[in-house]
């Protein structure tokens, strides 16, 4: 009731001046000039704006927790690297189930409602800094992260239903750009506060402020502006229905024409032009008959294309789930690079700085990725391939004891790769999934990634205790396998 009251009052007085100002600025930056009445303005409409800024404020909050968590757990609570890997596996791995069931719950109860409920509980991880024991810190961090996973599929579905299909890439790229921009600024203020020796518990507790702002942005989403975008298969089915309707119209037209011709024959029996009219009528009927036959052939072709595209989409969906699971196994918690750089340089601030570099590159890539001419599948494969390059780079710098600043080049590749992946994955799923099952499909995507991360972080922790280069090399090999799975797909989306 309280949230509904706030939302209704906001709409009553129409206080959208800030939105209008930023909307126009962002339209200019992104090159957007289109417009449509349904969404309230092309792809950069009020819903896209609120969803993207909800992501911005969310990352502005919990990414500060993520960057400080490994330092707090390992360097302050004196846990081992293996324990950190297990802690990351628990938070990410169990989060797979929350992501999957969150998507199903969104399909059943409404995606806006589920997104808000999940977002409300994310601030639990802000209390991590008050923990005295490692298990206590892991429990608080995991609870907030599970809430984040629970709402993520619904937030993606809301975005996909806020724009038309041709704008999926730009919308998800814009979402990722603001999402990671929040992480970029979170890393900056966390670094500054840490450098000035502000206690970690106070750095983490202030993250509740942007997290509450994130929830408020979700409340402002207008469900009236959502579009029920048909999936790729439904477009052809609708086209088949239109063809059948056209055939029925032609049949009715022929019946009326036959009736008129009969009446004309009776009336103009003595007319000298009777033979000519009959011939013209027969020619017209022959043409209409050919048109019907052509439409029948076209309908059969569309049915064949429908079945073929359906099979390709199913194949691509399975490939994406397998690839994102492999990527999950290779997608280690960024706490590992933070610890690697901090320990190699003997400077904790340089470790935190790597997080800022990572988010700077991934945020900018999100803006560019949605506008590139590459097909969605090619973007996804490229993202996995760049992850291999970044992970291999981390391994090489560590193995040969090179200048620690070279780690930042590898971190940049990891950031660029995530920008492509986070733009292409939800775009592909939105295109190939059916409208009423989109939440479940997004949930499956989150679950597949999280299951991989669950196992990946445990393996990373074990290998890291032997040598950091072994752990990064392992991650790189799996990313390369994920890219090959996607590149060998026959899909043309």
Contact (Cβ atoms closer than 8 angstroms) between residue 175 and residue 366: yes
We report the CATH number of the domain holding residue 424 as 1.20.1250.20
**Average pLDDT of the segment spanning 181-193:** 94
- pLDDT confidence of residue 341: 94
Whole-number average pLDDT of the chain: 81
**Average pLDDT of the segment spanning 240-247:** 50
47 pLDDT above the threshold of 90: yes
In tens, the pLDDT along 420-462 reads 998 898 888 888 887 778 888 888 888 888 788 788 888 888 9
- List all residues 6 or more positions away from 67 whose beta carbon is below 8 Å from its beta carbon: 186, 187, 190, 334, 338, 352, 355
- pLDDT confidence of residue 13: 42
**Measured distance CA(339)–CA(414) in Å, rounded:** 16
Q: Do the domain assignments include residue 303?
A: no
- pLDDT confidence of residue 448: 84
- pLDDT confidence of residue 382: 94
Q: Number of structural domains, the chain? A: 2
DSSP 201-244: HHHHHTTHHHHHHHHHHHHT--GGG------HHHHHHHHHHHHH
Q: Of 182, 195, 197, give the one whose Cα is nearest residue 64.
A: 182
**Measured distance CA(51)–CA(214) in Å, rounded:** 9
Same domain (yes/no): 104, 184: yes
**Measured distance CA(225)–CA(367) in Å, rounded:** 24
**Measured distance CA(182)–CA(122) in Å, rounded:** 15
In tens, the pLDDT along 348-396 reads 889 999 989 999 999 999 888 877 757 888 999 999 999 999 999 999 9
Same domain (yes/no): 224, 251: no
Query: What confidence category does residue 34 fall into, taking pLDDT thresholds of 50, 70 and 90?
Result: very low
Contact (Cβ atoms closer than 8 angstroms) between residue 332 and residue 475: yes
User: For residues 124-151, b (16+ Cβ closer than 10 Å) or e, as one string?
Assistant: bbbbbbebeebeebbbbbbbbbbbbbbb
- Counts for the chain of helices (H) and strands (E), in that order: 17, 0
Range of the domain at 469: 2-229+308-487
Q: Do the domain assignments include residue 135?
A: yes
Higher pLDDT residue, 471 or 294? 471
Q: Do the domain assignments include residue 492?
A: no
Contact (Cβ atoms closer than 8 angstroms) between residue 179 and residue 418: no
- List all residues 6 or more positions away from 264 whose beta carbon is below 8 Å from its beta carbon: 277
- pLDDT confidence of residue 189: 96
Same domain (yes/no): 477, 384: yes
Q: Of 137, 121, 118, give the one whose Cα is nearest residue 66.
A: 137
Same domain (yes/no): 10, 151: yes
3-state helix, strand and coil shares in percent for the chain, rounded to the nearest 5: 85, 0, 15
Contact (Cβ atoms closer than 8 angstroms) between residue 11 and residue 220: no
Q: Do the domain assignments include residue 54?
A: yes
Same domain (yes/no): 148, 88: yes
**Average pLDDT of the segment spanning 36-58:** 82
Same domain (yes/no): 59, 83: yes
Could you give the count of Cα atoms lying within 13 Å of 102 in the half-sphere of its Cβ? 31
Maximal CA-CA distance, the chain: 110
**Measured distance CA(62)–CA(149) in Å, rounded:** 12
Please state whether the predicted TM-score (pTM) of the whole model is above 0.75. no
Same domain (yes/no): 276, 378: no
- pLDDT confidence of residue 18: 43
Same domain (yes/no): 326, 446: yes
**Measured distance CA(178)–CA(172) in Å, rounded:** 10
110 pLDDT above the threshold of 70: yes
306 pLDDT above the threshold of 80: no
Same domain (yes/no): 148, 258: no
Tokens of 185: 């600024």
- pLDDT confidence of residue 239: 47
Same domain (yes/no): 237, 225: no
**Measured distance CA(239)–CA(454) in Å, rounded:** 43
- List all residues 6 or more positions away from 128 whose beta carbon is below 8 Å from its beta carbon: 65, 69, 72, 137, 140, 141, 144, 204
Tokens of 184: 């970029």
Same domain (yes/no): 140, 92: yes
Report which listed range, 152-161, 164-173, 300-309, is most confident. 152-161
Same domain (yes/no): 188, 287: no
Q: Do the domain assignments include residue 302?
A: no
């Amino acid at each position: 009731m309280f949230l509904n009251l706030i939302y209704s009052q906001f709409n009553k007085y129409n206080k959208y001046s800030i939105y209008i100002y930023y909307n126009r600025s962002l339209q200019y930056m992104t090159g957007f000039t289109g417009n449509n009445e349904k969404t309230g303005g092309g792809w950069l409409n009020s819903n896209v704006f609120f969803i993207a800024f909800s992501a911005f404020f969310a990352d502005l909050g919990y990414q500060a927790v993520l960057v400080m968590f490994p330092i707090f757990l390992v360097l302050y609570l004196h846990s081992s690297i293996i324990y950190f890997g297990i802690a990351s596996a628990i938070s990410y791995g169990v989060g797979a189930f929350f992501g999957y069931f969150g998507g199903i719950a969104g399909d059943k109860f409404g995606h806006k409602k589920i997104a808000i409920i999940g977002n409300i509980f994310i601030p639990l991880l802000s209390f991590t800094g008050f923990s005295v024991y490692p298990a206590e810190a892991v429990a608080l961090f995991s609870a907030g992260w599970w809430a984040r996973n629970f709402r993520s599929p619904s937030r993606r579905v809301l975005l996909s239903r806020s724009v038309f299909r041709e704008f999926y890439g730009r919308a998800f790229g814009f979402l990722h750009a603001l999402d990671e921009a929040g992480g970029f600024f979170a890393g900056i203020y966390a670094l500054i506060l840490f450098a000035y020796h502000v206690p970690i518990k106070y750095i983490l507790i202030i993250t509740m402020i942007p997290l509450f702002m994130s929830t408020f942005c979700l409340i402002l989403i207008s469900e009236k502006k959502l579009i029920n975008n048909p999936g790729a298969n439904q477009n052809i089915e609708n086209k088949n229905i239109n063809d059948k309707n056209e055939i029925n119209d032609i049949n009715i037209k022929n019946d009326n024409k036959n009736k008129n011709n009969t009446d004309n024959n009776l009336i103009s029996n003595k007319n000298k032009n009777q033979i000519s009219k009959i011939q013209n009528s027969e020619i017209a009927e022959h043409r209409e008959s050919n048109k019907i036959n052509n439409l029948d052939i076209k309908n059969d072709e569309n049915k064949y294309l429908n079945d073929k595209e359906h099979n390709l989409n199913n194949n691509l969906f399975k490939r994406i789930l397998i690839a994102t699971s492999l990527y999950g196994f290779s997608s280690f918690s960024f706490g590992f690079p933070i610890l690697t750089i901090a320990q190699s340089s003997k400077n904790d601030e340089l470790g935190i700085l790597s997080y800022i570099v990572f988010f700077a590159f991934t945020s900018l890539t999100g803006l560019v990725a949605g506008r590139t001419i590459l097909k969605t599948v090619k973007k996804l494969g490229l993202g996995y391939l760049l992850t291999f390059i970044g992970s291999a780079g981390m391994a090489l710098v560590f193995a040969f004891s090179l200048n620690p600043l070279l780690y930042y080049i590898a971190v940049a590749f990891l950031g660029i790769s995530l920008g492509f992946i986070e733009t292409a994955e939800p775009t592909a799923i939105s295109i190939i999934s059916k409208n009423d099952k989109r939440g479940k499909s997004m949930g499956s995507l989150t679950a597949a990634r999280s299951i991989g991360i669950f196992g990946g972080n445990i393996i990373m922790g074990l290998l890291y205790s032997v040598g950091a280069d072994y752990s990064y090399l392992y991650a790189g090999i799996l990313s390369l396998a994920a890219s090959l799975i996607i590149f060998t797909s026959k899909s043309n989306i």
